Amino acid sequence: MKAYVYGANGAEISDVAKPAPKGTQVLVKVHACGLNRADLGMTKGHAHGSAGGAGTVLGMEWAGEIAGLGPEAKGVKIGDKVMGSGGAAFAEYTLADHGRLFRAPSNMNFEEAATLPVALATMHNAVVTNGALQPGQTVLIQGASSGVGLMALQIAKLKGAKLVIGSSTDAGRRGRLKEFGADLAVDSSDPGWVKQVLEATGGEGVDLIVDQVSGKVASQNLAATRVKGRIVNVGRLGGTHADFNFDLHAARRINYIGVTFRTRSIEEIREIFDEVRKDIWGAVESRKLQLPIDKVFAFDDIGKAFEHMEANKHLGKIVVTL
C-alpha cells in the first residue's frame, strides 16, 4: 500500500506492507488525513515522543472506514465511518485502538471529519478536564489561530466562559479569531498584551490560560493570570526553554499543569476520548464545534501540503485525501 514514510532521503511516498489488526486494534481504510504541526517536525526527522526516525509512516489524524477488526476490538463493526488519532495515519490503511476513535457523524464528509480528532481530544482535556473551566470564568488561549487553538476558543465558549481571549502574532489571523468565539484578540509578540488582558479582566487576570506557545511568554502568562488561577501548558511553539519568574508564580499561587499525549497510556487516551463523547459530542454532531479547512491536497501532493503548512499562512486545517 502507499504510505508517506520518513527515510534516508527525507519524507516521501513509498510502498509498505498493509498492517493487520491485533488485540483491540481496528484496521481503517483511510479516506482523509489532517496535518498537524508535529507532523511537520517528523518530516524533518524529529521525534514526537517515541515515534519518528527512519522507516516511520508519518501522520497522526485520519478519517475513514473500518476494514478489519482485531480479536478484542469492541464497539465498532466493518464498514463503520470513523475518525481518530494515532501513528501511521498517512497511508491507505492505518491501525487504531478501538477506544481512540469517534464515529463520524452522518452529516460530515471525510475531509471535515479528519480535522477534528486531535483538536477535540487535546482541547477538551486542556480546557475542561485539566483547566477546570467553569461557567462565568475567563480564559486566554495562547496560539489561538492554530487548528487546536480555534477548537479551544469554541469549547471555552460552549462551556460558558464569560470572556474568551485568543492570541495570534499574525494580524490577518488575529482579525478572524472572533469568528470562532474570541471576545478579544491580542498579539503575544507585543509587550503590551498583558496590560490588555488585565484591563479586560478588571485588573485581576484570567482564570485560565491554555498555553500552546510557552517560551518567551511563560512569565508574561503568570502576570496575566489571576491569583489562584490555572495555566495548562500544551505546547512549546515559542521554544522549550525560557526565563520563568518563580516568585511571581508563587505570589499568584498559580496551578501550572503540563499535558501531552506523548507520555499517556492507551487507557488514559481512551478515557479522554470517552470524556469528549460524554460531554461535547452533541455539539460536534450539530456542527457547533467544527474547524475550517484551509486547503485540501491529493495524497500524491502531500509534499506540497507540507510546504503550504511550513509557509505558515493558513487558518484552519490542511487536509490530504486518498
> Beta partners for 219?
none
Task: Look at the alpha carbons of 89, 94, 98, 104 in this order and tell me if their dihedral is positive or negative.
Answer: positive
What pLDDT is stored for residue 238 in this prediction? 65
Distance CA(273)–CA(261), nearest Å, equals 12
Q: What was the pLDDT predicted at 7?
A: 87
CA distance 134 to 126: 13
Q: pLDDT class for 52, splitting at 50, 70, 90? A: low
In this structure, the number of other CB atoms found within 10 A of the CB of residue 322 comes to 20
Average pLDDT over residues 170-175: 96
DSSP string for residues in 164-194 = EEEE-SSHHHHTTGGGGT-SEEE-TTSTTHH
* Pairing of the two strands 206-211 and 138-142: parallel
DSSP E strands, the chain: 2-7, 10-15, 25-34, 56-57, 61-69, 81-85, 93-97, 101-103, 138-142, 163-167, 184-186, 206-211, 225-233, 255-258, 293-298, 317-321
Q: What is the pTM of this model?
A: 0.95
Residue keyed to cell 487576570 = 205
For the cut 60, the answer to whether the pLDDT of residue 55 exceeds it is yes
Could you report the per-residue pLDDT of 251-282, keeping only the tens digit for each?
999 999 999 998 999 999 999 999 999 999 99
Is a pLDDT exceeding 60 seen at residue 133? yes
Which grid cell is 37? 504541526
Domains along the chain? 2-115+291-321 (3.90.180.10), 120-258 (3.90.180.10)
What local confidence, expressed as pLDDT, does residue 145 receive?
95
pLDDT digits (tens, 9 = 90+) for 179-238: 999 999 999 999 999 999 999 999 999 999 999 999 889 999 999 999 999 999 998 776
- Between 243 and 299, the more confident residue is 299
| Position 44 confidence tier, pLDDT thresholds 50, 70, 90 | confident
Q: How much is the average pLDDT of 162-187? A: 97
The per-residue pLDDT for 50 is: 55
pLDDT at residue number 53: 73
Judged against a pLDDT cut of 70, whether residue 51 lies above it is answered with no
Residue 41's pLDDT band, with cuts at 50, 70 and 90, is confident
Q: Are 37 and 146 in contact (CB under 8 A)?
A: yes
